[in-house]
């Protein structure tokens, strides 16, 4: 049998990022946390935590954390059915999920907010590129994710959400300065672009489709969906923006498309662990409903 006190200590260290903060969260001493994790590591025969700032779980540690998350969901559901098991009231349970930044900035945040307002949960939302959020599921770091991958992660269900439409835009002054002779491989290789981070391939994908070849783009890095819009309006560069975020700017003329009628649609999927939990099912219903109102039907 697994020692759930030790598993809770492991999950707390990973969630809080340090042994001291985990100890405060569990109301025990840091030495007690260290002892519990050491015993658990001896039991499974490998390291579970990479000590650092912050502490991070190893692959085995992440899988054990995912197990703890699933058990807590099931325990919370059982307490709801049998209130006598929780005389002090039903405790809120952590629900870790991963999502891409543009979805979080548009339709996903209202969905999880509405769910958390009525469900006894504490949402733990991790942000990553939509092409990489599935890795969080495979590692066991989260129980559900918005991802660009339709392929089911092991132990997960997958369903389509729709597509997020992106438009390549810039300010009128930027277009006049950099693209007065047209938008092509030559001008794109000179005009500064906007990139969310090193994982962001949207601009390169749009350019490859337009020019039928790779073009090395000069780029600014701005890891914020809102900053992307602000920077584009200010003339810092051009970039792929979610259409739902820039409708007002397009209407006023603060932003214009580089090439009219050339959207890039990115299909999104919702993947969730196959845990028999009404909480996870409830989150799924909120997410799917919100996506259907904001995304383009696939």
99-140: per-residue pLDDT in tens? Answer: 999 999 999 999 999 999 999 899 999 999 998 898 888 777
Separation CA 98–CA 145 (nearest Å): 5
Quick count: other Cβ atoms within 10 Å of Cβ 226? 11
Instruction: Calculate mean pLDDT across residues 90-94.
Output: 75
The domain ranges of the chain are 1-67, 164-265
Separation CA 36–CA 23 (nearest Å): 11
Check whether 291 has a pLDDT greater than 80: yes
- At 74, the pLDDT band (50, 70, 90 cuts) reads confident
> Could you report how far apart the first and last alpha carbons of the chain are, in Å?
45
The answer, yes or no, to whether the previous bond of 12 is cis (omega within 30 of 0) is no
Predicted local confidence at residue 11, as pLDDT: 86
Mean pLDDT of the chain: 90
- Domain 164-265 indexed as CATH 3.40.190.10: yes
Number of residues that this document lists for the chain: 298
Quick count: other Cβ atoms within 10 Å of Cβ 192? 18
Cβ burial of 154 (10 Å; 0-12, 13-18, 19+) is exposed
Fold of 1-67: Arc Repressor Mutant, subunit A (1.10.10)
Separation CA 262–CA 254 (nearest Å): 19
Instruction: Calculate mean pLDDT across residues 158-172.
Output: 97
């Amino acid at each position: 049998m697994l020692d759930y006190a030790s598993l809770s200590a492991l999950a707390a260290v990973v969630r809080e990022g340090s042994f001291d903060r985990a100890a405060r969260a569990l109301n025990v001493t840091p030495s007690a946390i260290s002892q519990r994790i050491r015993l658990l590591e001896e039991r499974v025969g490998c390291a579970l935590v990479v000590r650092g700032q912050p502490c991070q779980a190893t692959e085995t540690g992440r899988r054990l954390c995912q197990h703890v998350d699933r058990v807590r969901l099931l325990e919370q559901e059982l307490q709801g059915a049998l209130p006598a098991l929780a005389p002090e009231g039903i405790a809120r349970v952590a629900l870790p999920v991963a999502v891409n930044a543009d979805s979080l900035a548009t339709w996903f945040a209202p969905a999880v907010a509405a769910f958390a307002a009525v469900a006894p949960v504490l949402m733990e939302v991790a942000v990553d590129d939509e092409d990489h959020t599935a890795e969080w599921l495979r590692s066991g770091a989260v129980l559900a994710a918005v991802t660009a991958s339709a392929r089911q992660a092991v132990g997960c269900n997958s369903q389509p959400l729709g597509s997020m439409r992106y438009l390549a835009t810039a300010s009128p002054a930027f277009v006049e300065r950099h693209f007065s002779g047209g938008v092509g491989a030559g001008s794109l290789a000179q005009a500064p672009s906007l990139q969310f981070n090193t994982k962001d391939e949207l601009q390169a994908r749009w350019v490859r489709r337009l020019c039928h070849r790779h073009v090395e783009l000069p780029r600014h890095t701005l890891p914020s969906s809102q900053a992307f819009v602000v920077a584009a309006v200010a003339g810092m560069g051009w970039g792929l923006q979610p259409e739902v975020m820039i409708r007002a700017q397009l209407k006023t003329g603060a932003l214009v498309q580089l090439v009219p009628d050339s959207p890039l649609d990115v299909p999104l999927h919702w993947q969730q662990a196959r845990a028999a939990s009404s909480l996870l099912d409830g989150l799924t219903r909120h997410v799917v409903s919100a996506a259907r109102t904001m995304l383009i039907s696939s």
